[in-house]
Amino acid sequence: MPKVLHTTAEMRAWRNGVSHVSVGFVPTMGALHAGHADLLRRMRRECDQLVLSIFVNPAQFGPQEDLTKYPRTLESDMEAARECGVDAVFFPTPEQMYPPGYSTYVEEQALTPRLCGEFRPGHFRGVTTVVLKLFNLVRPHAAYFGLKDAQQFFVLHKRARDLDLGVSVEGVPTVREADGLALSSRNVYLSGQERAIAPAIYETLQGAARHIESGAPVPATLAESRARLELQGFKVQYLECLSLPDFQTPQPGPGPGPGKPLLIATAAYLGATRLIDNIILWPERLEELGIKIHR
Ligand code: PAF
């Protein structure tokens, strides 16, 4: 069984005991699914010691969001950690991470106002802060993040670079159900009927990606895709196409053409459940910019 570390002191002590080996890190909020298992298994092959953190981070939830309702499945998470060969699970309490009087936050300012950041004020400040704290405690050589939360990955990659953290922040492709729905801890909230409609989100993104790849104008393609989703019952919060890694709106005119990495991303509600998904076009160009995306 992996070693379970409950306090920041225990985490530091464990880390001090593995000082001459490579440490891989997968931060999560628990409710582990096959997407998390994929991150852990990939990292297992790349490092000597593998750390998983499970922490439902209050700082990244807005007042109207699902912090208390967020699924907590510690027993099955521990079983998944064991199966994936995790050496240590860091499972702190909110009081350990944010003791009374806590008042320090870090903020990335260029990428976070876009996409989810526009609709979830403070969310990325909470993410960048907690992941910096976790990096300081775990002191990993590398950390893997799923690309379902592509904005989160690019923000955390930039923050690691901007702050010279010396941690290799790498993106791992989204794991999907057979019908294309991206795995997410929040999928459990979907009713049977919503679950049947949900794969349309990825189908629509794929359609938009094909059009943009073949040179169709971006705004018209996005408008058509948005209408298609709304017709099927989604309430679309955003559907955007931005250049990578700088999150700029592509210039108007015919499609940008091959070679320019682009992110097509959406957030849409099905009933009360907010789903996000995305597609990256021409991801191989990111590698040339020193951004590691696994295949
Ligand atoms: O993606 C998540 O599960 C969370 O945002 C993270 C990166 C663990 C930070 O709390």
- Which atom of ligand 1 is least distant from the CA of 27? 8
Extract the tokens encoding 153. Answer: 């990955």
Q: For the chain, how many helices (H) and strands (E)?
A: 11, 9
Return the pLDDT at 66. 83
Average pLDDT estimate for 110-114: 98
Q: What is the 3-state secondary structure (H, E, C) of 108-164?
A: CCCCCCCCHHHHCCCHHHHHHHHHHHHHHHHCCCEEEEEHHHHHHHHHHHHHHHHCC
Would you mind telling me the total number of residues written for the chain in this entry? 295
Please work out whether the CB of residue 143 comes within 6 Å of at least one atom of ligand 1: no
Single-letter residue type at 292: K
Extract the tokens encoding 273. Answer: 């459940």
Average pLDDT of the chain? 96
Which residue's CA is the nearest one to ligand 1's atom 3?
A: 28
Interval between CA 145 and ligand 1 midpoint (Å): 8
Return the pLDDT at 222. 98
Which residue's CA is the nearest one to ligand 1's atom 9?
A: 127
List the beta bridge partners of residue 243: 262
Q: Which of 25, 26, 28, 56 to mutate to test the pocket of ligand 1 (most atoms within 8 A of CB)?
A: 28
Return the pLDDT at 254. 55
Q: Which of 152, 156, 276 to mutate to test the pocket of ligand 1 (most atoms within 8 A of CB)?
A: 152
Q: Could you report the per-residue pLDDT of 235-271, keeping only the tens digit for each?
A: 999 999 999 999 999 876 655 555 679 999 999 999 9
Q: Would you please indicate which residues are annotated as catalytic (active-site) residues?
A: 36
Q: Could you report the per-residue pLDDT of 38-58, keeping only the tens digit for each?
A: 999 999 999 999 999 999 999
